[in-house]
Structure 1
Amino acid sequence: MLKNLPAQPISTSGSVIENGDGLMADGNEKREKFVRLAEGRTQSALDSIRKLGNLSNRRAYDYDEADVKRIIKALRDATNEIERKFGSSSGDGADKFKL
């Protein structure tokens, strides 16, 4: 004898799917989750960068130009990696040869 099985999630458009309880789950949930996490994580990153800027106070800290260059390089490398992961590039087409 066959059991009554709940419907499996099905979506061809990616916008609205039915979950196993017959309830509709809006595809905006992923967007809302992304926005919530991105805003919080970006704010944390910006706060940390501002704190790094506080280290520029020569009365409180001793550093040289090599230290500053290492910090800036690490930050640039990290932002370049984020751009790569998201598939964007600030120099689209700039490095391509055209006649």
Structure 2
Amino acid sequence: MTTPGYVADKDQLGKRLRRIEGQVRGIEKMVEEDRYCIDVLTQISAIQSGLKAVALSLLDQHLAHCVVHAAREGGEEEARKLTEVSEAIARLVK
């Protein structure tokens, strides 16, 4: 197995994910405290944006590293990686 393309940005991704995790805990607390619905929805939107940013970063790294590597190798691996990334994009845009 090859090294993931995101390995260089692993610390940054971890920080972003921990921030998102904190936001989720914050929403849980907001609900427990009966906070205003729109405030809770605003925080949910912020989390969705944060997760989308992480997903796009991972997708970018996957394209730049894994897909490029497979394209250089050609053959079945190239086709498999292209199908894999196409399916990942489809999941992201749902």
TM-score by length of 1: 0.46
Higher helix share: 2
Higher strand share: 1
Name the structure, 1 or 2, with higher relative contact order (CA <8 Å, separation 6+). Answer: 2
TM-score by length of 2: 0.48
Structure number with larger C-alpha Rg: 1
